[in-house]
Structure 1
Amino acid sequence: MNIPRYRILTGLISSATVASLLIADAAISLPPVEQGNTIQLNGQPWTGRWIRRNDRDKQSIFLQDDWLSGAIGLDMLDSNRAGQQKVKWFSSPLFTEATFDRPIQHRYLDVRPVARFWRTEVEGSTLKIFTPDSTLQALRRSKQANGDRIVFELSAPTPWQIQQQGTTINLILAADLAPSIPTGVNTDKGNSIEALEVQNRGKQTVIRIQSTEVMEPEVETLGDPARIILTLKPDYVPPDVDILWVPGLRRKQQIVSLPNPLAKSDKDPKSFRFSVISLVVDLKQQGLTMRPIWSNPAGMLGTSSLRAMAEQWKAIAAINGGFFNRDRQLPVGPIKFNNRWMAGPVLTRGAIAWNNKGEVFIDRLVFNEEIVTAEKKPIRLSNLNSGYVQKGMARYTPAWGTNYIPLTDNEVLITVQEEKVVSQFKGEKAGQGQIPIPNNGYLLVARQVPELVAQLKPNVQIRGRTSFKPVDFGKYPNILGAGPLLLKNGTVVLDTKLEQFRPPFDKQGASRSAIATTKESGKVILATIHATPEGILPSLPQTAEILKKMGAVNALNLDGGGSTTLFLGGSILNRSLGNIGPVHNGLGVFVREPEKPNNSNQF
């Protein structure tokens, strides 16, 4: 039986955490007393991680940083200290300690600086938090230049959340409502407000605001007395955010503006303000590594959310990667890890390559594989571990999985072990049958090429070879491909026709994911780019220009649209959880050396 344990959180904490300890082999923090992944806030259950640990002669509670932002309205400000986070919550800005789990995946903040007089109770894996009672005592509206402002005066600081859907904005307060404030709908119009409705649900008050157009609210908290200031302005630009999360990894949020070439009148926006959320990773930082990750560690079949994928591989951060066949759930671009090809390229498209020294190379990748028989007859292979189906001879290694299931009808399956053809037989219909892939060889799959099948009878000796263009790709153990290539040496080199992307892919707008290098050796940008306040999505040329403005020198477009996802510390940074599409692969960032697979079964 779980016995409830109660504690009142009081006092402040010093900022003595040394950033280098985040990566050192020494323990990051004292052993936790309890920890869990469920938080109950004033009776409302949330998914959120927490740690309660011994801290000398007292106990401390640490909550997952993004949970604090979303659940109580904690404002995380620019911070250049890896072991601390600058925050603001009904107070002047202050620093609070940050700690991490092991291996480092999630970041937690000490809540004592903002949680005075909170009451806590631990039951199993659930932390129950009870905040002091608060009352919304006054609500004042005023018109501002080109907008509106609402001041909510509270009897005490209290958790709050913002929910927005289109032109409807809900401010949810963990507070009762003073009798002097009427409930119901107020249709007094403002510059940006069509109507305002007040609802009281006991110890929760909901303010529903109907705005004249879709716009992001500016929200600020003040103390003495506790107030929430909500401002609505069509031209509001959220402040840039730059947080050092761990040494070598920065979390950034910014607006990047590009001129509007179609502006003809004063009503047309002079510029497009694109929302960009990114991570800047220093691959030369000791203990910080990057590697490809994919949905199914046992093979190439499968898709999942990037969040599930990253947490499965225990990555601290991740961005979605290359293209894939959504129906077959198979990759259609290159994935290479630790000199092992998990999947090969199909077309000549952009790719990024890197090593553990922090050296990075971005260009268009030309990849060729062929096998040569004892009679020195070369046979060019069409695909390697790919879900992209075309006429030719494809190769499937154990990296694909333990078995191969035919992707098309009437395939001829050729088993190769120790550089010798062992068997040859005709496959069943697409999706039927499972053919084992030998651990000491591979499977050749012939599609509509009887003349090549005739050269590969049982007992024929063969050997394989691989070539690259540019040859620099051959120097790197890790590769991930997507495309198109956007920037090379600071110049826009976008060419969708060369990389065989079909119209209107080259001109249409979409949410974008991209990876880029900067002038600083080893620095890479993992960026997601989204729509302007007017709903204009970035095109590929605009994506290239945005990245240039962010300091990119070489840049590669990744899979975008519904796949665009950026993950950090257990949270998705760029979209709501209900709007995340499954992906096949991604790029994961680790604060440790990830496990290395076996290098066998490669040419």
Structure 2
Amino acid sequence: MKPALRRGLVWIGCTVSSWGGLVLPSAWSPAAIAQTRAATNQTGMQLQINGRAIAGQWVVEPASQGSFIWIEEVALRNGLGLELLPGLSTTRQAIRWFSDGRVAEGVEQVPARRQNGRRFLEVSSLARRSGWSLAVLADQLVIQLPAATLRNLRDGQQGANRRLVLDFDRPTPWEWDAIGQQLRFDGSVPAQLVPSLQRYGIQAEQQGDRTSLRLPAGLGVRVSSLGSPDRIFIDLPTTTGLLSPPAGLGSNPAPLTPAPPDLAGTQLQQRQVTVDGATFPVFVIQLDLRQPNVRLAPIWAGNGSLEGTQVLQAVARDRGAAIAINAGFFNRNNRLPLGAIRRDNIWYSGPILNRGAMAWNDQGEVLIDRLGLQETLQLSSGTRIPLVALNSGYVRAGAARYTEAWGNSYQTILDNEVVVTVQGDRVVSQSQADKAGSNRFTIPRNGYLIVLRSANSLRTSLVNGTTIQVLQQAQPSQFDRFPHALGGGPLLVKSGRVVVNPQAEGFSRAFEIEAAPRSAIGLMPDGRLVLVAAHEQNQGQGPTLPQMAAIMQQLGVVDALNFDGGSSTSLIVNGQLVNRARGSAARVHNGLGVFLGPTTPASLR
């Protein structure tokens, strides 16, 4: 449906036709962008795509040969169905949206940049190729695409999957609703194709210029698009084992989609669990870590440092995780971690306050318990200095250590910190910092920083030339044999018993009794792992911590750990946020990522 033109409509570009007028550059180049910096940009916080309002920021940069169109990536994903593919580049983004089928797997690269905490993609080339018409209406960027028509339906195989191919006459905005099992697109289905869809159990519903294709329940579906010709793939796993109810989770679970078809032994379900007379919707993913193609790894938002937050959907995509759940706590002001993050035997962030944590190895063994870490500096003088923290945003009086795992540098967190630089196990300098955040210190290679907070008496023990040995011991000691760990808290279930004690792990009484959505992880008796997201009941309240422990008990776990919750509660499968509405999940610091492949994931930094 074409939006009505009214007063305030500003056409962008040169030649104006009855609809459109935005002149797009023939090719993107950094030089062309540089030429536009002195020109007046137009920007806004909302798009309109074929008459639908989509939240997201946009920027139009005029150039001598056209305009460059920067749109926030989340708006492109929500409004068009544009697929954001894994990658760690900060200046390019791999995408797929009716991309040229002659390119490998239909993947194309577009320019990307981050500005004011948002990530934007430059899509003028995509818009030109796909026949968009664009204009500015007040603070909206109006995008109009012609309605598409479904031309043909084909059936085939893609590996172990059954593949349906929907051939269209042009690119169209599309959306896969993983909960409602619907594929929506802007366009129509000819009457002669309706019986063909029905033979696959697909019901077509037309509402105005938009069509919904409702698929049968219980299918682990993956949807993608490709160009030349323009088509949408619907991959349906033929392995019924992915759809069977997992042992220990009760009867008649309601399957969800999409379940990764290439991840053996994985189930994704929604259940209704009743505790204390209240019924909560609970989303459950079960993993068999003994499968050779399943690996776990901590993932976090920062790129090259431990500072930063982002929605988990973007973190999982950027790190290449097929499945992810939000994990540890963090300081929302300075965006620093407050708990354990360990990968490949390296403590990126140390545990705090003896809080609950999970640890695992690459053979599928998992340990869930309360975790402490005691580090001690053994000085050449014979003095021993106990450290209060390792690579942590949690601060208290005493000495803390920051290694290269924290990042290339350390920025002061409190006023008047004393920073001691150690290189090659020897103190090489001492520095007095000023106001919090006003000083940044390089973390040396083959060394670390010792940060003294309200501990000036230790300065005389850490003079230049002092040699230091670092002693380290996990508590309990069995954590030492696991190369990977993630912290959360509190511990919910241990050996089948509810053991919730938030105050013993440094949480407040208010946190203990709060009713909110919650994320958790649990270990089944046979060694399988469950990722769980529990949400508000009909009366609008989520579970308390004791109720969450009872939910985990009902799911049959022997050990369970609470993760960060509330608006952070996020469960991602194949790039989809499956446990809540799009855009409703808050930014998080870290999560637990599930990766597919025969080896441990490559570096995530």
TM-score in terms of structure 2 length: 0.63
Q: Matched residue of 1:255: which SS?
A: strand
Q: Partner residue of 1:530?
A: 535
Amino acid in structure 2 at the alignment position of 1:46: G
1:596 shift after superposition: 5.1
Q: Deviation string for 1:417-441 (max 9, x for gaps)?
A: 0110000110121111221100110
The alpha carbon displacement at 1:533 in A equals 2.2
CA contact (8 A) 1:384 1:394 kept: yes
Q: Matches of residues 132-531 of structure 1 in structure 2 within 5 Å?
A: 132-133=189-190, 173-175=205-207, 201=208, 203=209, 240-241=254-255, 243=259, 245-260=261-276, 271-521=277-527, 523-531=528-536
Give the match for residue 566 of structure 2. 561
Deviations 1:498-551 (A, max 9, x none): 112101211221100001110112x11111011122323111111111111112
Cα distance 1:39–1:436, how it changes in 2: closer, same or farther (>3 A)? closer
Counterpart in the other structure of 2:148: none
Two-structure CA RMSD over aligned residues (Å): 4.0
Letter of the 2:170 counterpart? E
> Is contact 2:516–2:565 with CA below 8 Å preserved after alignment?
yes
Q: Does 1:119 align with 2:168?
A: yes
Q: Secondary structure at the match of 1:174?
A: strand
Describe the SS at the equivalent of 2:274. strand
Going from structure 1 to structure 2, the CA distance change for 1:525 and 1:355 (only over 3 Å counts) comes to same
Q: Contact between 1:364 and 1:485, CA under 8 Å: does it hold in 2? A: yes
CA apart distance, 1:336: 0.5
Q: 1:492 to 1:377 in 2, by over 3 A?
A: same
Deviations 1:130-151 (A, max 9, x none): 532469xxxxxxxxxxxxxxxx
Shift of 1:157: 6.8
Tell me the CA shift for residue 204 of structure 1.
5.3
Is the counterpart of residue 571 in structure 1 residue 603 in structure 2?
no
Question: Is contact 1:336-1:343 (8 Å) kept?
Answer: yes
Deviation at 1:277, TM superposition (A): 1.1
Q: Distance in 1 between matches of 2:282 and 2:513?
A: 20
Amino acid aligned to 2:587: P
Shift of 1:244: 6.4
Q: Once the 2 structures are TM-superposed, how far is the Cα of residue 96 of structure 1 from its aligned partner? A: 7.9
Distance 2:372 2:535 in 1: 31
Residue 46, structure 1, aligned to residue 81, structure 2: yes
Aligned length in residues: 423
Question: In the aligned structure 1, how far is the partner of 2:409 from the partner of 2:100?
Answer: 47
Identity value in percent: 35
Structure 1 residue 247, shift from structure 2 partner:
3.3
User: Could you tell me how far apart the structure 1 residues matched to 2:565 and 2:378 are?
Assistant: 39
What letter matches 2:517 in structure 1? Answer: S
Give the superposition deviation at 1:276. Answer: 1.1
Q: Give yes or no for contact 1:562–1:581 (8 Å, CA) kept in 2.
A: yes
**1:119 Cα deviation from its structure 2 partner:** 2.9
Q: 1:54 to 1:385 in 2, by over 3 A?
A: closer
Q: After TM superposition, give the deviation of residue 272 of structure 1 in Å.
A: 2.1
> If you compute each CA radius of gyration, which structure gives the higher value, 1 or 2?
1
CA distance in 1 between partners of 2:510 and 2:547 (Å): 15
Query: What CA distance in whole angstroms lies between the structure 2 residues aligned with 1:598 and 1:132?
Result: 44
In structure 2, how many angstroms separate the alpha carbons of the residues matched to 1:124 and 1:536? Answer: 35
CA–CA separation in structure 2 for the residues paired with 1:45 and 1:123: 7
Give secondary structure in 2 for the equivalent of 1:333. coil
Gaps in structure 1 of 5+ consecutive residues: 2-36, 63-94, 101-107, 136-153, 159-171, 176-200, 207-218, 221-236, 261-270
SS at the partner of 2:358?
A: strand
Structure 1 residues 125 and 434: CA distance shift in structure 2, 3 A = farther
Deviation at 1:375, TM superposition (A): 2.0
Q: Matched residue of 1:586: which SS?
A: strand
Structure number having the greater helix percentage: 2
Deviation of the 1:394 alpha carbon: 0.7
CA distance in 2, matches of 1:96, 1:256: 36
Unaligned runs of 5+ in 2: 1-23, 25-72, 84-95, 108-154, 176-183, 199-203, 218-250
Deviates more, 1:314-323 or 1:589-598: 589-598
TM-superposed deviation, 1:156: 9.9
CA contact (8 A) 2:189 2:211 kept: no
Q: Which residue of 2 aligns with 1:226?
A: none
